[in-house]
């Protein structure tokens, strides 16, 4: 990964003490799921799900891929989805670029497609999509619900062998305000801290 992403990752791993104890107990369940797959040499397919697949679910997918690179765990594959299709929001893209993500547009439309390059060997294709989109796994994956609305309105995710609710506050509430940039970055840092913590607990 580039120097800025490396520095970001180093900063994030210093913040684990900021995670509340009850939240760590929840995150440990995700660690246990991944560890169980590791123990039998099985890939972990992790799908981050939110209503619109525009902000938090993309953060989850991309930051999870970054954590897998940082901890050198190749058996992690990350995905994102929504219960509706919208678009990867420009404010979310700007927040990720600000920490060092190299993001290029590959298709322009109402729902643009992007490539997020983590390093020379690993990238993430990012665009808004439904859970059942052809690029997403159909079975034996973890459904990680990143918003309360999706958690409540999508109680069953077909094909998932593990489901967990990890809701985060939506930075959308600050769109168009003077706090917009700050709050998107706050959410990136919070989600990165929790995801990196999950990986840090693995017995690799």
The full set of domain ranges for the chain reads: 50-199
Q: Please give the mean pLDDT across all residues of the chain.
A: 93
Q: What is the mean pLDDT of residues 170-197?
A: 96
pLDDT digits (tens, 9 = 90+) for 141-153: 999 999 876 666 5
Q: What is the mean pLDDT of residues 11-39?
A: 96
List the end-to-end C-alpha distance of the chain, in Å, as a whole number.
20
- Catalogue the long-range contacts made by 115-120 (C-beta closer than 8 Å, 24 or more residues apart): 116/62, 116/65, 118/1, 118/5, 118/65, 118/66, 118/69, 119/1, 119/2, 119/69
Per-residue confidence (pLDDT) for residue 119, from 0 to 100: 85
Q: What is the mean pLDDT of residues 33-55?
A: 95
- Catalogue the long-range contacts made by 150-159 (C-beta closer than 8 Å, 24 or more residues apart): 150/49, 150/50, 150/51, 150/82, 150/83, 153/51, 153/83, 154/49, 154/83, 157/49, 157/131, 158/131, 158/132
Dmax (CA) of the chain: 49
Q: What is the mean pLDDT of residues 169-198?
A: 96
**What's the CATH superfamily of 50-199?**
Response regulator (3.40.50.2300)
Q: What is the mean pLDDT of residues 15-20?
A: 96
Q: Is the pLDDT reported for residue 9 higher than 90?
A: yes
Q: What is the mean pLDDT of residues 169-183?
A: 94
Q: What is the mean pLDDT of residues 181-197?
A: 97
């Amino acid at each position: 990964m580039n120097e800025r992403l490396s520095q970001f990752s180093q900063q994030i791993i210093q913040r684990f003490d900021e995670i509340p104890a009850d939240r760590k107990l929840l995150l440990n369940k995700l660690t246990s799921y991944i560890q169980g797959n590791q123990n039998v040499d099985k890939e972990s397919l992790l799908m981050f799900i939110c209503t619109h697949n525009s902000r938090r679910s993309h953060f989850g997918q991309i930051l999870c891929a970054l954590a897998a690179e940082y901890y050198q765990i190749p058996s992690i594959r990350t995905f994102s989805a929504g219960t509706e299709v919208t678009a990867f929001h420009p404010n979310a893209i700007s927040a990720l670029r600000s920490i060092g993500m190299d993001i290029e547009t590959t298709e322009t439309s109402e729902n643009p497609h992007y490539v997020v390059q983590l390093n020379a060997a690993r990238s993430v294709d990012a665009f808004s999509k439904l859970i059942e989109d052809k690029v997403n796994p159909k079975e034996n994956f973890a459904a990680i619900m990143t918003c309360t609305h999706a958690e409540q309105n999508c109680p069953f995710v077909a094909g998932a062998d593990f489901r967990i609710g990890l809701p985060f506050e939506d930075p959308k509430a600050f769109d168009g305000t003077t706090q917009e940039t700050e709050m998107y970055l706050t959410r990136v840092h919070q989600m990165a801290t929790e995801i990196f913590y999950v990986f840090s607990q693995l017995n690799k």
